[in-house]
Amino acid sequence: MKALRKYLDKIKPNFEEGGKLHWLYSTYDAFETFLFVPNTTSKSGVHIHDARDSKRTMIVVILALVPALLVGMYNVGLQHYLAIGQDVAFLTKFFYGLLAVLPQIVVSYVVGLGIEFAIAQVKKEEVAEGFLVSGILIPMIVPVDTPLWMIAVATAFAVIFAKEVFGGTGYNIFNVALITRAFLFFSYPSKMSGEQVWVRTADTFGMGKGAVIDGYSGATPLGQIATTEAGGFSDFAFHGITGQPLSLSDMFFGFIPGSIGEVSTLAILLGAVILIATGVGSWKTMLSVFIGGLVAVLLVNSFAQNAIMEMPVYYHFLLGGFAFGAVFMATDPVTSARTEKGKWIYGFLIGLVAVAIRVFNPGYPEGMMLAILFMNAFAPLIDFYVIDANIKHRAKRAAVTK
């Protein structure tokens, strides 16, 4: 480490004011602060500071995402080898998934961070860490077969138009990863929904070659129930891609077709535990999303007319992006309500709207993305009313004493 420090000190003058590479200062600074804690000391105000900084916060979120990412990768392999009817070892499945997902992660990071670095450079600011999380979220919420160029275009669009035009990390109104997904969803609907996109049937870099078996169907469980002809939930059964029945435990552990991040409820819960224990994610938001969902489902169940309206609440929580959205998307502090009371309302309405979209919109069985984006827009309004109560109460106090 000492040699590295010496090297950094040696090249630093090139990047400082007057140096040849001064136009790359933000980039240099990003790498230096990644390697070493900056030794700038306080000039005004408090003389001591908490050890937690923006980097630490983002790293914790990434850590919380890792279980879901790993299980998701394994599931990509599992579904693939099921589809081509081959029985292979655990590690082979995982490795196949890793190879399939890694290029997407690389593309999302290279494009997103590239734009962030360039803009920080132009604004002569430090590079903010926000995209470290968005960059890993994006591959986790898109279908595994999304072409890389689409991810690149959508990421660029989201980073520029959903974040940087508003002023960068901390100022955006909508969740960047969800805007990426929404962009893909509305631009390339055929690649984002339906039966063909959730399971990778082709080989990855020559690995896992094979023909798809007869009777294969790649529909997600939510897709199945949204399009079913069954009259009620009791006449309906979820099935896997080879037609095998799906149990609740398959849904809980994540052995179903779906986006990489959303399939394993267990891994998401593990992430939730990390976020709550470290205080990085708000348990109030998470809990209230589930409460909102519960209330909505119970309401819909009470006057159910078809299978999806009859579907019990635990299926809603286990399937699709409900849990993933509640834990990792709704809790994004920048786009969420910022007051504590506001978080209860914000989360509750996300759960409510998500279920409403799922149940009443058969063309689009996944409601979480739109519900969160919708509530992102309303978060400032919710905060406005929470804060207004405080303002009124202060004004009243002043009026009484006069």
Partner 1 sequence: MANRIKIKKGLRIPLLGEAEETLRGRVTSEYVRICPEDFHGVIPKLAVKVDDAVKAGMPLFFDKNYPEMLFASPVSGVVTNIERGEKRRILYVEVKADSTIQYEDFGKKPVASLSAEEIKKSILNAGLWFLVKQRPYDVVAAPTKEPRDIFVTGFDTAPLAPATDFILNGSEADLQAGFDALAKLTTGKVYLSISPKIIHKGLRDAKNVVITEFDGPHPAGNVGVQINHIKPVNRGETIWTLNASDVAIIGRLFNQGIVDLTRTVALTGSEVKQTGYYQMVIGTQLNSIFKGNVTEGISLRYISGNPLTGRKIDADGVLRAYDNQVTVIPEGDDVHEAFGWASLSPKRYSAGCTYPTYNKKYRLDARLLGGPRAIIVSNEYDKVFPMDIFPEQLIKSIIAFNIDKMEQLGIYEVAPEDFALCEFVDTSKLELQRIVRTGLDLLRKEME
Residue 334, interface with partner 1 (CB under 8 A)?
yes
Q: Least distance (Å) from partner 1 to the CB of residue 379?
A: 10
Rounded Cα distance between 239 and 246, Å, is 5
Q: Least distance (Å) from partner 1 to the CB of residue 129?
A: 8
CA dihedral over 367, 368, 371, 377, signed as positive or negative: negative
Residue 130, interface with partner 1 (CB under 8 A)?
yes
From candidates 7, 36, 90, 205, binder to partner 1 by CB under 8 A: 36
With contacts defined by CB under 8 A, how many residues of the chain interact with partner 1? 62
Q: Least distance (Å) from partner 1 to the CB of residue 393?
A: 8
Residue 397, interface with partner 1 (CB under 8 A)?
yes
Residue 3, interface with partner 1 (CB under 8 A)?
no
Reading the block at residue 290, the tokens are 């589930």
- Using the contact rule CB under 8 A, the part of the chain among 94-102, 161-169, 188-196, 202-210 near partner 1 is 161-169
Rounded Cα distance between 79 and 93, Å, is 9
From candidates 11, 21, 35, 122, binder to partner 1 by CB under 8 A: 35
The residue among 123 and 209 lying less far from partner 1, judged by its C-beta, is 123
**In this structure, which amino acid lies at residue 112?**
G
Restricting to residues 60-119, name those near partner 1 by CB under 8 A: 60
Residue 281 to residues 47, 131, 203, 261, 394: CA-CA distances in angstroms? 28, 17, 37, 17, 31
DSSP state of 165: G
Residue of 375, 277, 298, 286 whose CA lies nearest to 322: 286
CA dihedral over 253, 259, 260, 262, signed as positive or negative: negative
From candidates 86, 278, 301, 361, binder to partner 1 by CB under 8 A: 278
Residue 292 to residues 121, 286, 287: CA-CA distances in angstroms? 43, 10, 9
Residue 336, interface with partner 1 (CB under 8 A)?
yes
Q: Least distance (Å) from partner 1 to the CB of residue 26?
A: 11
Contact 198, 220 (CB under 8 A): yes
From candidates 100, 111, 128, 352, binder to partner 1 by CB under 8 A: 128
Residue 124, interface with partner 1 (CB under 8 A)?
no
Residue 10, interface with partner 1 (CB under 8 A)?
no
- Using the contact rule CB under 8 A, the part of the chain among 111-119, 232-240, 362-370, 388-396 near partner 1 is 388-396
CA dihedral over 333, 337, 343, 346, signed as positive or negative: negative
Residue 169, interface with partner 1 (CB under 8 A)?
yes
- Using the contact rule CB under 8 A, the part of the chain among 84-92, 98-106, 245-253, 393-401 near partner 1 is 393-401
Residue 59, interface with partner 1 (CB under 8 A)?
yes
The residue among 167 and 215 lying less far from partner 1, judged by its C-beta, is 167
From candidates 282, 288, 306, 376, binder to partner 1 by CB under 8 A: 282
Residue of 340, 373, 374 whose CA lies nearest to 141: 373
Residue 255 to residues 43, 189, 313, 327: CA-CA distances in angstroms? 54, 24, 20, 20
- Using the contact rule CB under 8 A, the part of the chain among 37-45, 157-165, 216-224, 290-298 near partner 1 is 37-45
Residues 6+ positions from 190 with CB-CB distance below 8 Å:
none
Residue 48, interface with partner 1 (CB under 8 A)?
yes
Rounded Cα distance between 348 and 3, Å, is 53
Q: Name the 3-class secondary structure at 175.
A: coil
Rounded Cα distance between 220 and 240, Å, is 8
Residue 234, interface with partner 1 (CB under 8 A)?
no
Rounded Cα distance between 145 and 101, Å, is 9
Binding site for partner 1 (CB under 8 A): 1, 4-5, 29, 33-57, 59-60, 126, 128-130, 167-171, 277-280, 282, 333-334, 336, 338-340, 383, 387, 390-391, 393-395, 397-398, 401-402
